[in-house]
Amino acid sequence: MLLSELKEGETGVIVRVGGNGALRRRILEMGIVKGTKIYVDKYAPLKDPLELIVKNYHISLRVEEAAQIMVEKLQQQD
Amino acid sequence: MSEKKVITIALAGNPNSGKTTIFNNITGTRQKVGNWPGVTVEKKEGLIQKFGYDLKIVDLPGTYSLTPYSIEEIVARDFVLEESPDVIIDIIDASNLERSLYLATQLREIDSKVLFALNMADIAISHETKIDSEKLSNLLDVPVVFTVGNKNEGMDDLLKEAIKLAESSPDKRENRNVKYSRDIENAISKIQDLIEEKAKDKINYKSRWTAIKLLEDDKIVKERFVEKAGAAGEEILEETGVLRKALLNSFDEDPEIVMTDDRYGFIAGIIKEVQTTTIKKRVDVSRNIDLVLTNRFIGFPIFIFFIWAMFQLTFTLGAYPMDWIESGVSLISSYAGSIVPESLFKDLLINGIIGGVGSVIVFLPNILILFFCIALFEDTGYMARAAFIMDKIMHLIGLHGKSFIPMLMGFGCNVPAIMATRTLESEKDRILTILITPFMSCSAKLPVYIVLAGTFFAAKAGNVIFSLYLLGILLSIISGRLFRSTLLKGIDAPFVMELPPYRVPMLRSLMIHMWDRSKMFLRRMGGVILVGSVIVWALSAFPRNVEYSADYSSEIDRANESFNIKIAAADEKDKELLKNERIAAIAEIEKAMNAEKTEKSYMGRIGKGISPVFEPLGIDWRGSVSLLTGFFAKEIVVSTLGVLYSTEGPDDKDALKNALRSSGMTPLSALSMMVFVLLYLPCFATIAMIRKETASFKWTAFSIIYSTTIAWIAAFCVFQGGKLLGFQ
Ligand SMILES: Nc1nc2c(ncn2[C@@H]2O[C@H](COP(=O)(O)OP(=O)(O)OP(=O)(O)O)[C@@H](O)[C@H]2O)c(=O)[nH]1
Ligand SMILES: [Mg+2]
């Protein structure tokens, strides 16, 4: 499923980062790479962008960018 | 001591890792620090002597990798790669080790001597994360030092290590490099061999590094490489292209992406060995704060409340110290008046200098409060949240949340705000943001609002001023939308931003910030405001001999005489009353005389000349010239008003207010004037910065014309519209 389909408080494991160009590269360089756990902390008041926790830090992406990232939803939360 | 070579030490690292904090500690300077990524956008240098060495410390903008994404990152990249500093200190946020190691491993791949500073060690500890620095040091073969930037801990160790490293022989250390996937490694060696064979002496860096960068298709390295190596370079690039294609086929992915994955794989291995986190549900204060401040329902109201509170505070809290300064100024003025003999010089001193500068200097408290609030936003980490919640709205105009940071900074001063746009990735976004930032009303305009709103709106002044700022934001958004769909069409830039944890701002740094601001403000008073006030005074004091329409001096004599007769005839108890009446009557005549004198001065003539333009806005000739002088600095608008309206002498501290009220200015025309001031052409310094940052005369001219036109139209609508609706 897509990262943008995860709800607040859900965790996923990144399967593939789509998109192209400089942005995709930057997202990867910031540690959003295959196999990484990503937690959807919250959506902004206007539903866009969203705040994620990855590798222990907080990053914000827009929904349309999150829709380029494929994740596998993790069932249980820790 | 013998002539020693200066050791250059570069401070590199991820954004917001504390580079500038450490730079300030080491060099004793006060470069700007803030808790959001992208505070530093230029490189800053400082020279110091320590442990018998001359050190040149260079603070760089933050960057996540050596493949730059925005202009300020290019600065960092270029310095690290092209100016080969003797030592690079990679300032690492220890509480964010894994991501920080990405840049660190890239820095390890180049030739330079690298040293790690594990900064924010305090936070790592509070997160119960332990980092085995010895192991880290062994694994990557780099010296590692723990530091706490904001407590000034570990600085000496850091410098000692850096000097030791600088003095060590370059070959001593063996690099522990990232091992990439087998196919990639093969391709790297192939390119490396080609380079060794054909262009060995034409590259600045190790052949492995160059090979990696070529394989990654790094634009800048490719360009430099061809420049240097010529035909052989072209040949190698072609070969690289073939290799890249092969890799693309086998991985179904660009090699640079695979390499990023590999680096993070390598890093994960290191993290496993050096970092231990006691897994325990800990209370994350920062997240709890965010649950409220970026809450779905109250996030926006809180944001608007903060901005409202900022202006309310500025206005109400600032009023007290303002009163004291005002009394001080009038004390000085009357003292000077009593000791300096009647002369042209006295006029210059009292009306020009004390009147002009004094009318502006009283706003120091207001401006300090405003900057204090902005500094609070910046230092706590709220700035990044403002960008986060505003992103959707900024998206409407094709910009993103990060553009909102320069805009908020614009409330303080447009000059640094325009520079802050460098963190925006796309050139069009930058220009767009630069064009709309001047609508964010800067602190220099505040005095104008305080005078006019304070005079005409009394208790509602705070709200009037707040609405003006909102109008500025609104018009900047509308203008942005307009430009986006006409002049600056382009795809919407994506929004990727790190949200740093909230931090308790350091009182010391806030105080230093205030102190620096005060100094800057006072320097302005001694500089542009003083010169401006003297010019304004001169233009209004000359020519000395005006031909009056009436013979005022004989009018005064006549008034005197008639009162004297009356007083002589009156009873004892009416005498006092009549004496007061006499004083008032004479003051009335003198006022008329002074008014006529100013009207016939050079200033008056200029004012009369341009006033037709401002007449539809309800602004009289005095207002018109004041606006004109605001080009040099917005505060001068007030000092000009002070000189032009203060016909009663500046030692009365409510003189300007009374004069404004009796001059025929109405609340409506005051509002119209404030709207005009809010929007019209930016000050000289801002224009110079726009020119510098857009590197285009065309955009600069456009900005000036556009803002002034909008200002006129908006003020026209306010005044004429208000009149139609029956306001006064
Ligand atoms: N708790 C803690 N905070 C720190 C430490 N060092 C710096 N800070 C804070 O971290 C924030 C960022 O510091 P800066 O020095 O502006 O960071 P920078 O690396 O120059 O950031 P950019 O210029 O944006 O790349 C500020 O709020 C500092 O007060 C530290 O060791 N511990
Ligand atoms: Mg900095």
* pLDDT tens string A8-17: 989 999 999 9
For residue A12, give the 3-state DSSP assignment.
strand
Is residue A7 over pLDDT 50?
A: yes
Rounded to the nearest angstrom, the minimum Cα separation between B392 and chain A is 6
Which residue did the predictor score with more confidence, B561 or A50?
A50
Tell me: do B47 and B147 sit in the same domain: yes
Is residue B515 over pLDDT 90?
A: no
Distance from the first to the final alpha carbon of chain B: 77
Q: Whose C-alpha lies nearest to ligand 1, atom 30? A: B120
Which residue did the predictor score with more confidence, B302 or B622?
B302
Residue with tokens 């930057």: A26
* pLDDT tens string B175-219: 567 889 899 999 999 999 998 888 777 777 778 888 999 999 888
**Residue B526 has what DSSP assignment?**
I
Residue with tokens 């054909």: B198
Buried b (16+ CB within 10 A) or exposed e, B73-99: bebbbebbbeebbbbbbbbbbbbbbbb
Q: Where are the beta strands (DSSP E) in B86-193?
A: 87-93, 113-119, 129-131, 144-146
Is residue A77 over pLDDT 80?
A: no
Confidence band for B605, pLDDT divided at 50, 70 and 90:
confident
Tell me: do B514 and B644 sit in the same domain: yes
pLDDT of residue B384: 93
Distance B694 CA to ligand 2 centre (A): 23
Q: Is the bond into A49 cis (omega within 30 degrees of 0)?
A: yes
**Rounded distance, CA B188 to CA B109, Å?**
13
Residue with tokens 């994360």: B129
Nearest C-alpha neighbor of B528 from the set B393, B679, B357, B689: B357
Q: Which residues pair with B131 in a beta bridge?
A: B275
CA B220 from centroid of its chain's CA atoms = 30
Residues of chain B contacting A58 with CB distance shorter than 8 Å: 498-501
**Rounded distance, CA B57 to CA B614, Å?**
53
Q: What ipTM describes this predicted complex?
A: 0.95
Tell me: do B120 and B190 sit in the same domain: no
* pLDDT tens string B12-65: 999 999 999 999 999 999 888 999 999 999 999 999 998 999 999 999 999 999
The reply to whether residue A33 touches residue B395, judged by beta carbons under 8 angstroms, is: no
Say if residues B206 and B169 touch (Cβ distance below 8 Å).
no
Ligand nearest B39 Cα, by number? 1
Tell me: do B160 and B208 sit in the same domain: no
Residue B1 in any domain: the answer is no
Distance B233 CA to ligand 2 centre (A): 37
Q: Which residues pair with B496 in a beta bridge?
A: A61
* pLDDT tens string B133-147: 999 998 888 999 999
Ligand 1 contact, B407 CB (< 6 A)? no
pLDDT of residue B280: 55
List of residues 6+ apart from B246 with CB closer than 8 A:
B187
- Residue in A with minimal Cα distance to B287: A41
Element (H, E) at A17: strand A11-17
Say if residues B258 and B251 touch (Cβ distance below 8 Å).
yes
Locate the ligand 1 atom nearest the alpha carbon of residue B34 and give its number.
16
Over chain B, what is the mean pLDDT? 87
Cβ-in-10-Å burial (0-12, 13-18, 19+) of B673 comes to: buried
Contacts 24+ apart (CB under 8 A), B584-591: B585/B559, B586/B556, B586/B559, B586/B560, B587/B648, B589/B552, B589/B555, B589/B556, B589/B559, B590/B552, B590/B556, B591/B647, B591/B648
User: How far apart, in Å, are the Cα atoms of B482 and each of B433, B475, B479, B581, B701?
Assistant: 13, 10, 5, 60, 18
Is residue B281 over pLDDT 70?
A: no
Residues of chain A contacting B425 with CB distance shorter than 8 Å: 22
Say if residues A2 and A54 touch (Cβ distance below 8 Å).
no
| HEC-encoded secondary structure of B584-625 | HHHHHHHHHHHHHHHHHCHHHHHHHHHHHHHHHHCCCHHHHH
Distance B150 CA to ligand 2 centre (A): 13
Residues of chain B contacting A47 with CB distance shorter than 8 Å: 392
Tell me: do B240 and B126 sit in the same domain: no
Element (H, E) at B47: strand B44-50
Protein residues with C-beta less than 5 angstroms from the ion ligand 2? B 19-20, 39-40
**Rounded distance, CA B37 to CA B19, Å?**
11
Tell me: do B203 and B145 sit in the same domain: no
pLDDT of residue B282: 56
Element (H, E) at B225: helix B219-251
Q: Which two tokens stand for residue B277?
A: 């986190």
pLDDT of residue B124: 87
Residues of chain B contacting A24 with CB distance shorter than 8 Å: 257
The reply to whether residue A55 touches residue B395, judged by beta carbons under 8 angstroms, is: no
Tell me: do B168 and B196 sit in the same domain: no
Counting the structural domains of chain B, the total is 3
Element (H, E) at B643: helix B635-645
Residue B480 in any domain: the answer is yes
Residues of chain A contacting B297 with CB distance shorter than 8 Å: 45
Tell me: do B196 and B158 sit in the same domain: no
pLDDT of residue B638: 85
Domain with B64 in it: 6-176
* pLDDT tens string A18-57: 887 888 889 999 999 999 999 999 999 988 899 999 998 9
Which residue did the predictor score with more confidence, B568 or B480?
B480
Q: What is the CATH number of the domain that holds A69?
A: 2.30.30.90
Residues of chain B contacting A30 with CB distance shorter than 8 Å: 64, 99, 102, 496, 498
The reply to whether residue B496 touches residue A48, judged by beta carbons under 8 angstroms, is: no
Q: Which residues pair with B59 in a beta bridge?
A: B11, B44
User: How far apart, in Å, are the Cα atoms of B726 and each of B390, B421, B433, B465?
Assistant: 37, 43, 37, 22
- Residue in A with minimal Cα distance to B292: A45
Ligand 1 contact, B722 CB (< 6 A)? no
| HEC-encoded secondary structure of B346-384 | HHHHHHHHHHHHHHHHCCHHHHHHHHHHHHHHHHHCHHH
Tell me: do B462 and B608 sit in the same domain: yes
Distance B119 CA to ligand 1 centre (A): 9
**Rounded distance, CA B464 to CA B671, Å?**
9
Q: What is the CATH number of the domain that holds B226?
A: 1.10.287.1770
Tell me: do B87 and B232 sit in the same domain: no
Tell me: do B496 and B628 sit in the same domain: yes
User: How far apart, in Å, are the Cα atoms of B695 and each of B68, B84, B690, B698?
Assistant: 21, 28, 8, 9
Confidence band for B674, pLDDT divided at 50, 70 and 90:
very high
* pLDDT tens string B226-274: 888 888 888 899 999 999 999 999 988 889 899 999 999 999 999 999 9
pLDDT of residue B174: 58
Q: What is the CA radius of gyration of chain B?
A: 32
**Rounded distance, CA B257 to CA A18, Å?**
11
The reply to whether residue A26 touches residue B389, judged by beta carbons under 8 angstroms, is: no
pLDDT of residue B20: 95
Of B224, B246, B274, the one marking the end of a domain is B274
The reply to whether residue A62 touches residue B391, judged by beta carbons under 8 angstroms, is: yes
Counting the structural domains of chain A, the total is 1
* pLDDT tens string B144-178: 999 999 999 999 999 999 999 998 876 555 556 78
* pLDDT tens string B404-433: 899 888 888 888 899 889 888 888 889 999
Ligand nearest B422 Cα, by number? 1
The reply to whether residue A27 touches residue B296, judged by beta carbons under 8 angstroms, is: no
pLDDT of residue B444: 87
pLDDT of residue B651: 47
For residue B682, give the 3-state DSSP assignment.
coil
Residue B588 CB coordination number (10 Å):
12
Longest dimension (CA), chain B: 118
Nearest C-alpha neighbor of B642 from the set B663, B627, B660, B629: B660
Domain with A18 in it: 3-74
Rounded to the nearest angstrom, the minimum Cα separation between B703 and chain A is 30
pLDDT of residue B56: 95
Interface with chain B: mutation pick from A17, A20, A24, A28, highest number of B CBs within 10 Å:
A28
Residue B64 has its nearest CB partner, among A29, A41, A48, at A29
Residue A59 has its nearest CB partner, among B257, B494, B498, at B498
pLDDT of residue B1: 45
Of B176, B201, B217, the one marking the end of a domain is B176
Residue A12 CB coordination number (10 Å):
22
Ligand 1 contact, B20 CB (< 6 A)? yes
pLDDT of residue B498: 93
Chain A contact present for B496, CB below 8 A:
yes
Of B240, B274, B308, the one marking the end of a domain is B274
Ligand 1 contact, B120 CB (< 6 A)? yes
